[in-house]
A and B are shown apart, each in its own frame.
Chain A
């Protein structure tokens, strides 16, 4: 039988990351609950499946791999570059049941510079390319968004609400909320414009330049421009509605999309703020690919369970049955041997031994 699409992709991704010198990070299915509960809002879904181990400690089925990597990364020893391919456990909001989700991704922890950022973004692009040549990689810069909010002195407590509307690309409601909060009309206008923007860097960067005010936005734009120049532009789009949680993420954030899938398959970004919350002074950037979505891309051509069904009865010697089956397999066909026709399976050909 052929490998499934996701098995093939995982193998290729691991090979890709290995060639960039990333080391594989393996972890157990469960970790002490403590780690996750302290950084609950970093997680995509806050529900965690817990149980007590033999010593009475509260353990969690891992909802995420990044936290464990960051916790174990040594500080001040150059960059920690690791990749992983692990199952994580999350609830789905509709059914409230837990699902096992296969995630492959990488993290780069340490002093992050332009080279590290460029490399990670490039690897994100290459990862998507492995799955489909027709991908899109959306990039945003949270420093630019935060800088714009700073310039209008938007109060901290209402930023989450503003970002939520940006995430929905709900320009009308965003404008309405800005008016309601009495925010600087000039900033409000730019915020709405920023939310509606979508397109390749060449078209969008000049528009960003017009909005830039203050040092934070200037340096963010500079960084964004520099990073975009390092990645093939054809698949790159700037989209400032990509807004991850600003308590953890800062700077570059990105998301990957494939045609035919209902949601993004890749998500990542720079999360120095998480490290700061863990008491570290350096930075980190990484991404994850959601492998469970890929089965939707699976081709439906395989309609047979095996090429040949070989039937035998009491009169055929066992040696002859196995020999004939081996002969067919040597010719490259898959063969199933049975005494009776099995129910519910289909074969390209059915025949009797001899």
Chain B
């Protein structure tokens, strides 16, 4: 039995579909209810929905054997896990964005609002820049509009939200997509099961891409 942590939300549903096509269906997951855990004994799989940013913690601490987490979460929390597969879904970019008329000047401390302080810090420290990090939990785009910050570091998918708020991408830090991660100990004790899951998911993704 493999325990799979799925990220709640649109990405999680997309990922479940991939897993279903790869031979790990669990029909009860599609029922409308408040259950958190779903299992299919025949397919040898148990799914549960968790907050996307918590997936890495569930996997690192072996509450789940494998899970699907965005590369953004992996970069931010640096969990001790294996990163086995790039699922190529949930694609977006980690970007620096700011007001269209903002001119970056190196003679003063840059104020950066973000949900990802670690990523922001390492990006700017690689440029030897001291920054003032403002950690927010949502509506990051609001920060430069209200002069709370000079720029933001955030995920950009289509850029529509930025555009509607007179913001633009100033630099791309790293491309992001969903990754299949595994607990290091589970990987060893459930080697056959986990590698089979990876193989089948990889195979069905390739088939999908060829279509």
Q: Which residues of A contact B (CB under 8 A)?
A: 93, 136, 138, 168-173, 198-199, 237, 239, 241, 257-259, 261-264
Contacts and interface: CB of A to CB of B under 8 A. Distances in A.
Given A168-B81, A172-B86, A264 B184 contact: yes
Contact of B185 (A199, A241, A259): A259
Given A172-B85, A172-B86, A263 B80 contact: yes
A105 to B, nearest CB: 20
A239 B187 CA distance: 11
Given A169-B82, A172-B86, A237 B188 contact: yes
Given A257-B185, A262-B185, A168 B62 contact: no
A253 B79 CA distance: 22
B117 to A, nearest CB: 14
Nearest to B181: A168
Contact of A261 (B78, B83, B84, B185): B185
B60 interface: yes
Interface in B53-84: 60-62, 78, 80-84
Nearest to B190: A259
Interface in B22-67: 60-62
Nearest to A255: B184
Contacts, number: 46
Contact of B84 (A93, A169, A237): A169
Contacts of B86: 172-173
B102 interface: no
19 contacts: A138-B188, A169-B83, A169-B84, A170-B84, A171-B84, A172-B86, A198-B187, A198-B188, A198-B191, A239-B188, A241-B82, A257-B184, A257-B185, A257-B189, A258-B185, A262-B62, A263-B62, A263-B80, A263-B185
Contact of B82 (A138, A168, A262, A263): A168
* In the A-B complex, the 3 residue pairs with the closest CB atoms: A262-B62, A169-B82, A170-B83
Given A170-B83, A241-B82, A263 B184 contact: yes
